[in-house]
């Protein structure tokens, strides 16, 4: 009898005790690390698809260090080969061979055209640029609402749907301060890249601002790699090829 009473009391306590809230900041950092190591090298293909089905493809070699340093080198097509881009925090540059100093570019511009902008291509960790407003559990997914930490971030708000088990995004909606949808990113084809990194190999995006257009980012290879700070400088931009 006493055991039954104690069991009933423990059940009532469990029902009355509020469920532990998900730590949104910790969850977002987990998502960041599952998407990529903090410092890495990668090979990606970007494909822009126009409404008539016409495609333009780019191949990029990208390196990243820490939370605020990213650089990319164009390998193809031939017309773009040797161009490079550099991001240091909110600052971005484009280097064109035989054209003097690197040119300043902005996060909302796109060096490849299409729906992906420079912030998407030279992306930092989400936790670096955004604060988590709240997290909801919806079935087998989390829904995170994020707010930009500063006005310099490409998107004022993000809504991230993430797989609970894998801690990986399945869809991200990018919004303005007025809650207008700018674009949607779809994460597909989860693949084992080795070294404990299991993440989507494909990111597709479309936008109500570019009806009929679509862009696809395919990661062919990504792995941990350490770099010296000098790699992420304006003077090193013409030498990124030496890292391959």
Token pair for 160: 């991230």
Domain membership of residue 91 (yes or no) is yes
User: Residue written as tokens 């007025």?
Assistant: 178
Q: Is residue 165 part of a domain?
A: yes
Give Cα separations from 6 to 9, 17, 23, 113 (angstroms).
Answer: 5, 16, 32, 66
- Is 7 within a domain? no
Under 8 Å CB-to-CB from 177, ≥6 apart: which residues? 156, 157
Strand-pair partners of 48 = 56, 215
Distances (CA, A) of 222 to 90, 170, 233: 24, 19, 22
Please enumerate in sequence order all residues whose Cβ is within 8 A of that of 94, keeping only pairs 6 or more positions apart, or say none.
83, 84, 85, 102, 103, 105, 111
Does 117 fall in a domain? yes
User: Is there a domain that residue 181 lies in?
Assistant: yes
Quick one: pLDDT at residue 18? 42
Residues above pLDDT 70, as percent of the chain: 92
At 236, list the tokens: 């090193």
What token pair was written down for 70?
A: 């990213």
Residue 206 burial (CB count, 10 A): 17
Q: How many CB atoms lie within 10 A of CB 16?
A: 7
Q: What is the pTM of this model?
A: 0.88
Region label for 194, one of left (φ > 0), alpha (ψ between -120 and 50) or beta (otherwise): left
**Residue 58 sits in which domain range?**
22-243
Per-residue pLDDT at 14:
43
| Domains in the chain, number | 1
Place of tokens 């890292």: 243
CATH number of the domain within which 43 lies: 2.50.20.10
Confidence of residue 2 (pLDDT cuts 50, 70, 90): low
Is residue 231 assigned to a domain?
A: yes
Confirm whether 70 is domain-assigned.
yes
Q: What average pLDDT score do residues 173-198 get? A: 96
Task: Specify if 8 maps to a domain.
Answer: no
Q: Is the pLDDT of residue 16 over 80?
A: no
């Amino acid at each position: 009898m006493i055991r039954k009473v104690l069991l009933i009391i423990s059940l009532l306590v469990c029902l009355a005790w509020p469920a532990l809230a998900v730590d949104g900041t910790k969850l977002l950092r987990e998502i960041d690390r599952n998407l990529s190591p903090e410092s890495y090298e990668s090979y990606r293909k970007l494909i822009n698809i126009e409404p008539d089905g016409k495609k333009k493809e780019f191949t990029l070699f990208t390196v990243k260090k820490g939370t605020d340093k990213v650089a990319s080198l164009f390998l193809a097509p031939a017309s773009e080969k040797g161009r490079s881009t550099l991001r240091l925090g909110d600052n971005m540059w484009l280097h064109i061979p035989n054209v003097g100093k690197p040119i300043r570019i902005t996060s909302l511009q796109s060096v490849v055209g299409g729906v992906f902008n420079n912030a998407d291509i030279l992306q930092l960790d989400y936790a670096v640029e955004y604060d988590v407003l709240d997290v909801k559990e919806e079935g087998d997914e989390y829904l995170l609402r994020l707010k930009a930490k500063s006005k310099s971030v490409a998107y004022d708000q993000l809504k991230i749907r993430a797989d609970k088990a894998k801690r990986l995004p399945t869809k991200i909606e990018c919004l303005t301060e007025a809650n207008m949808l700018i674009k949607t990113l779809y994460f597909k084809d989860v693949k084992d890249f080795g070294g404990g990194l299991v993440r989507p190999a494909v990111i597709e995006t479309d936008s109500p601002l570019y009806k009929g257009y679509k862009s696809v980012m395919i990661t062919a290879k990504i792995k941990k790699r350490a770099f010296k700070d000098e790699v992420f400088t304006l003077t090193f931009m013409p030498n990124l090829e030496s890292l391959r």
